Every structure is written in structure tokens, then in C-alpha cells.
């Protein structure tokens, strides 16, 4: 029995999926553009088969839209969509926090604080990709602590849907520093087990980002 020493060579449709996600959040695959399967396959050095399977996954997540015999196009995200996603997050994240907070162990809290530090560190390095992944890890440590897999899954879908815009949000240094303060506030509430304060902190956190992003969208 050998331990997993190196990053396992994944099953390659996963590689395609990961790369396509990157293309989507960086905007290299811009909303509205049709996806040419063969071109994409060539670019990634694989055949069309794994590309098509990855597209089916992305379709399920709402990142691309599909019409039979017409193919896939990158989904557009309107301001209304954005607002809707954030409203659904409001409802579901509140539930996650209600359930999770009473269950939080000191170990959980420690992990969450470490994750917050990661966000800060990535922010100081101005590494946008790292900030977004660290930020996501931070929040989902809390959400997952609720122990409700279906809820976590749904929240992940909602976060995924607006990932494109989170990088935009974190591009502004002011936003990066504000996020740190908001994380600290949330952590303070978690430490004392104050559900209401935690929900409020998370709500304020969301409100700021949805405001910033929808401004960016409308202008």
C-alpha cells in the first residue's frame, strides 16, 4: 500500500472540465459564444468525446445552454439572474448557518480561521485566482459544517453560477480588504455561537458583492 505521493493523473474528462471552468471564469469563453466542440478538443489535446461529457456537466450547472443539433453556447448572466442567485443564496445560506453554528467544534473554528488567513494572504499577493478559491473554501467550511450534503451541493451550484463575477469583484483592492473585515466579523459571531449575528454578517457580505457586481454589469 503506497500513499498518494503525487497529484494523481485525473481521468482526463475531469481535466477538460477543470480547464473549461477556467476558460469560463476568465472570460476566454465569453457569454453568448457558441462552443465548437472540435476546436475545443484540439485546443485541449483530446478528442470530442470527453469534451461532450464535460459539456453535459456544465449544462447541468447552467453554465452552457444546449439545443439538439445546434450545439452549446456559453450562458448569459443577466442582472436579474444575478439578483435571483443571491436571493436563493440568502435563503439557503441562512439555513446552513442556523444548522452549522451549534455544531461547530473548536477544530472547525480553527480551520475556518486558517482559511480566512489564506484569503488575506492571497489578497496581499493580489493573486485573484487564489483569492476566489480561498474565499470559497472559507465559506464552504462553514456551510459544509451543517452536515447537509444536498444543501452544500445546491449552494455550490449557485456559487458556481456567479463565479465569473467574483473575480471581477476581487480585482478591486478596496473590495479585497473589505472582505477581510467582513470575514472577521463573521468569525467573531461564530466564536460566540451567535446565529443571528452570523447570518447578518453573511447577509451584509453578500449585499456588498451583489451591489458591486450589478453596478459593474449595468455600466
Partner DNA sequence: AAAGTGGATATTGGATCCAATTTCGACTAG
Partner DNA sequence: CTAGTCGAAATTGGATCCAATATCCACTTT
Which of 182, 177, 102 shows the shortest CA–CA distance to 138? 182
Which of 24, 64, 74, 161 contacts its own copies by CB under 8 A?
A: 161
Select 75 or 198, whichever has its Cβ closest to its own copies: 75
Select 36 or 43, whichever has its Cβ closest to DNA: 36
153 binds, among its own copies, DNA, none (CB under 5 to 8 A by kind): its own copies
* Residue 6 DSSP class: S
* Residue 76 DSSP class: P
CA 207 distance to own-chain centroid? 16
* Residue 102 DSSP class: G
Which of 154, 160, 158, 133 shows the shortest CA–CA distance to 24? 160
Q: Smallest distance from the beta carbon of 66 to DNA, in angstroms?
A: 7
75 near its own copies (CB under 8 A): no
Select 56 or 191, whichever has its Cβ closest to DNA: 56
- Of 54-62, 120-128, 186-194, 198-206, the window that binds its own copies (rule: CB under 8 A) is 54-62
149 near its own copies (CB under 8 A): yes
Q: At what angle do helices 173-191 and 128-144 cross, to 10 degrees?
A: 20
Select 50 or 123, whichever has its Cβ closest to its own copies: 50
Which of 22, 36, 87, 125 contacts its own copies by CB under 8 A?
A: 87
Q: Smallest distance from the beta carbon of 15 to DNA, in angstroms?
A: 7
- Of 113-121, 133-141, 157-165, 193-201, the window that binds its own copies (rule: CB under 8 A) is 157-165
User: Are 118 and 134 spatial neighbours (Cβ–Cβ below 8 Å)?
Assistant: yes
106 near its own copies (CB under 8 A): no
In DSSP notation, 147-215 reads --HHHHHHHHHHHHHTHHHHHHHHHSHHHHHHHHHHHHHHHHHHHTT-HHHHHHHHHHHHHHHHHHHHH
Select 72 or 143, whichever has its Cβ closest to DNA: 72
How far apart CA 80 and CA 63 sit, in angstroms, is: 16
CA 147 distance to own-chain centroid? 19
81 binds, among DNA, its own copies, none (CB under 5 to 8 A by kind): its own copies
10 near its own copies (CB under 8 A): yes
What is the contact surface with its own copies in residues (CB under 8 A)?
10-11, 14, 49, 52-53, 56-57, 59-62, 68-69, 81, 84-85, 87-88, 91-92, 95, 148-151, 153-154, 157-158, 161
Amino acid at each position: 500500500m503506497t500513499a498518494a505521493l503525487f497529484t494523481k493523473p485525473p481521468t482526463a474528462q475531469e481535466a477538460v472540465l477543470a480547464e473549461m471552468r477556467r476558460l469560463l471564469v476568465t472570460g476566454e469563453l465569453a457569454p453568448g459564444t457558441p462552443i465548437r466542440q472540435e476546436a475545443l478538443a484540439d485546443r485541449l489535446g483530446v478528442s470530442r468525446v470527453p469534451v461532450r461529457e464535460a459539456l453535459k456537466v456544465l449544462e447541468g450547472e447552467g453554465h452552457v445552454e444546449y439545443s439538439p443539433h445546434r450545439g452549446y453556447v456559453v450562458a448569459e448572466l443577466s442582472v436579474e439572474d444575478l439578483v435571483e442567485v443571491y436571493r436563493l443564496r440568502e435563503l439557503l445560506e441562512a439555513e446552513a448557518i442556523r444548522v452549522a453554528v451549534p455544531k461547530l467544534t473548536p477544530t472547525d473554528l480553527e480551520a475556518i480561521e486558517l482559511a480566512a488567513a489564506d484569503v488575506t494572504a492571497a489578497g496581499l499577493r493580489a493573486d485573484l485566482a487564489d483569492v476566489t478559491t480561498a474565499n470559497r473554501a472559507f465559506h464552504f467550511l462553514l456551510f459544509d459544517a451543517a452536515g447537509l450534503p444536498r444543501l452544500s451541493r445546491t449552494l455550490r451550484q449557485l456559487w458556481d453560477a456567479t463565479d465569473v463575477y467574483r473575480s471581477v469583484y476581487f480585482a478591486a483592492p478596496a473590495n479585497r480588504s473589505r472582505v477581510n473585515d467582513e470575514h472577521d466579523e463573521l468569525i467573531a459571531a461564530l466564536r460566540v455561537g451567535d446565529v443571528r449575528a452570523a447570518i447578518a454578517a453573511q447577509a451584509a457580505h453578500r449585499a456588498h458583492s451583489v451591489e458591486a457586481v450589478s453596478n459593474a454589469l449595468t455600466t
